[in-house]
């Protein structure tokens, strides 16, 4: 059915007079109103600047896109597609389905303007895509509860544990979380690991170079265990999604949430006002470790089978331009990656921008940096550990087994 449709479309395209000299097909992966508008506005501007290019956009739902891309890169490739950097792009790069875009970076000065993300966009010594947006992770907290308890933003691990003690005294659970879909636990793990061991260990671990039973990773888990025992997460987190976990936060039963900036909308929809919530970086555990943050990026790639590579590169150069990134990220409430871009005056965006600019490394998130099979096993292990901390060594040993299988 689909085949006949595409052939029919191709036949029509052949018959149609060549009014537009070049078609540029772009696949995008977000149907939510904000992101969709940001993308469509950018495309409209691109069209206005390049009237000779006939842009055809193809917007899909995020999950559907994840499935579809596996087929369309071979069968019927668009000229540009959105995808994620880090290990998420690795299978496609390894299968030769994306083409390198080093020249786009060199010609447009992206090597300087997008320097922070360059390592994440690279594999095998080449650069594979151009990012248009990212967002920060950290701790979102109930400012009104902190004020009422006379607490300020904890800067260090000990201050955090002390603050937790005060919260528990008045019956507030320090952290909320919903681990039903697993990845939220990975956010907590990543941060404790980044603060305990730093960015290089995070990368070495997700690249399979060090074992999970390595003393450094065990130290991360020891800190995590301390966080669970002395601070504590809401009960029943294993049956809640991240959205469900907003309920205790909004109700004032829990005071902190390790999350990404996309969650701010959720807090506001749950009835919290801008004055009640605030953002703080995850506290320092070891002062000798340079600060690194989680900042998952979204990017565009050119498939190897793209038909109009020249215009595809033009579009890639366009999406990373400072003015385009400024406007786009204002619309979607995220951060531009181009260091010359401006940011909106939203307080979370401002804080995030400051945070990420001072970071020495940007992690993409455990499930984007580690291969899929490892990420799945790892996150299940994190959940198991969170439900019962006595399984620590059992979990880590199992992850070692999976690791030897996955990275061969």
Binding site for another protein (CB under 8 A): 63, 66-67, 70, 73-74, 77, 91-92, 94-97, 142, 144-145, 148, 170-172, 180-182, 235-239, 244, 247, 251-253, 303-305, 367, 372-373, 375-376, 379-381, 383-384, 387, 398, 401, 405
Rank residues 182 and 324 by Cβ distance to another protein and give the closer one.
182
Quote the CA–CA distance of 261 and 281 in Å, as a whole number: 12
Rank residues 17 and 390 by Cβ distance to another protein and give the closer one.
390
CB of 83 to another protein, least distance (A): 13
Q: In what order do the strands lie in the sheet with 297-301?
A: 53-59, 22-28, 80-83, 297-301, 129-134
CB of 253 to another protein, least distance (A): 5
Contacts of residue 211, defined as CB under 8 A and 6 or more positions apart, other chains included, come to: 217, 400, 403
CB of 92 to another protein, least distance (A): 7
CB of 199 to another protein, least distance (A): 23
**C-alpha count within 13 angstroms, C-beta hemisphere, residue 28:** 20
Rank residues 237 and 321 by Cβ distance to another protein and give the closer one.
237
- Alpha carbon 348 to chain centroid distance? 16
Quote the CA–CA distance of 228 and 225 in Å, as a whole number: 5
Rank residues 269 and 339 by Cβ distance to another protein and give the closer one.
269
CB of 309 to another protein, least distance (A): 13
Instruction: Classify strands 126-127 and 122-123 as parallel, antiparallel or unpaired.
Output: antiparallel
How many helices (DSSP H) and strands (DSSP E) are in the chain?
A: 20, 13
Rank residues 356 and 386 by Cβ distance to another protein and give the closer one.
386
Query: Interior CA angle at 124 toward 128 and 127, to 5°?
Result: 20
Tell me the Ramachandran region of residue 271: left when phi exceeds 0, alpha when psi lies from -120 to 50, beta otherwise. Answer: left
Rank residues 319 and 370 by Cβ distance to another protein and give the closer one.
370
Rank residues 169 and 345 by Cβ distance to another protein and give the closer one.
169
CB of 203 to another protein, least distance (A): 20
Report DSSP state, residue 291.
P
Sign of the Cα pseudo-torsion (307, 311, 315, 321, in order): positive
CB of 172 to another protein, least distance (A): 5
Rank residues 98 and 191 by Cβ distance to another protein and give the closer one.
98
Instruction: Classify strands 173-176 and 254-260 as parallel, antiparallel or unpaired.
Output: parallel
Phi, psi of 295 (to 5 degrees): -150, 80
CB of 140 to another protein, least distance (A): 16
Contacts of residue 238, defined as CB under 8 A and 6 or more positions apart, other chains included, come to: 179, 180, 383, 386, 387
């Amino acid at each position: 059915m689909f085949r006949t449709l595409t052939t029919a479309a191709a036949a029509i395209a052949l018959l149609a007079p060549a009014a537009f000299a070049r078609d540029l097909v772009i696949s995008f992966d977000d149907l939510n109103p904000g992101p969709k508008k940001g993308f469509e506005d950018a495309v409209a501007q691109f069209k206005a600047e390049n009237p000779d290019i006939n842009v055809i956009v193809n917007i899909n739902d995020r999950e559907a896109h994840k499935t579809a891309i596996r087929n369309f890169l071979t069968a019927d490739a668009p000229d540009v597609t959105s995808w994620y950097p880090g290990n998420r792009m690795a299978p496609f790069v390894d299968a030769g389905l994306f083409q390198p875009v080093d020249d786009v970076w060199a010609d447009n000065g992206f090597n300087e303007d997008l320097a922070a993300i360059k390592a994440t966009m690279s594999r095998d010594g080449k650069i594979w895509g151009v990012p248009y947006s990212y967002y920060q992770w950290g701790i979102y907290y109930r400012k009104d509860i902190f004020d009422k308890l006379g607490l300020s933003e904890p800067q260090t691990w000990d201050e955090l544990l002390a603050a937790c003690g005060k919260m528990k005294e008045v019956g507030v659970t320090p952290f909320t979380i919903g681990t039903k879909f697993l990845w939220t636990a990975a956010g907590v793990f990543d941060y404790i690991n980044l603060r305990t061991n730093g960015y290089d260990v995070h990368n070495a671990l997700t690249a399979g170079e060090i074992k999970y039973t390595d003393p450094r990773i065990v130290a991360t888990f020891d800190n995590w265990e301390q966080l669970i025992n002395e601070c504590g997460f809401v009960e029943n987190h294993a049956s809640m999604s991240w959205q469900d976990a907003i309920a205790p936060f909004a109700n004032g039963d829990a005071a902190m949430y390790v999350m990404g900036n996309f969650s701010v909308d959720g807090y506001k929809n749950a009835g919290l006002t801008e004055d009640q919530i605030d953002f703080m970086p995850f506290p320092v555990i070891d002062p000798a470790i340079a600060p690194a943050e989680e900042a998952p990026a979204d990017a565009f790639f050119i498939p190897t089978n793209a038909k109009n590579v020249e215009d595809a590169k033009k579009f890639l150069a366009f999406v990373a331009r400072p003015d385009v990134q400024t406007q786009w990220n204002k619309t979607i409430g995220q951060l531009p990656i181009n260091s010359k871009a401006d940011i909106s005056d939203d307080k979370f965006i401002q804080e995030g921008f400051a945070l990420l600019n001072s970071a020495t490394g940007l992690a993409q998130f455990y499930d984007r940096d580690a291969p899929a099979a490892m990420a799945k096993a790892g996150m299940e292990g994190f959940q198991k550990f969170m439900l019962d901390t006595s399984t620590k060594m059992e979990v880590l040993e199992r992850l070692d087994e999976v690791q030897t299988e996955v990275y061969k």
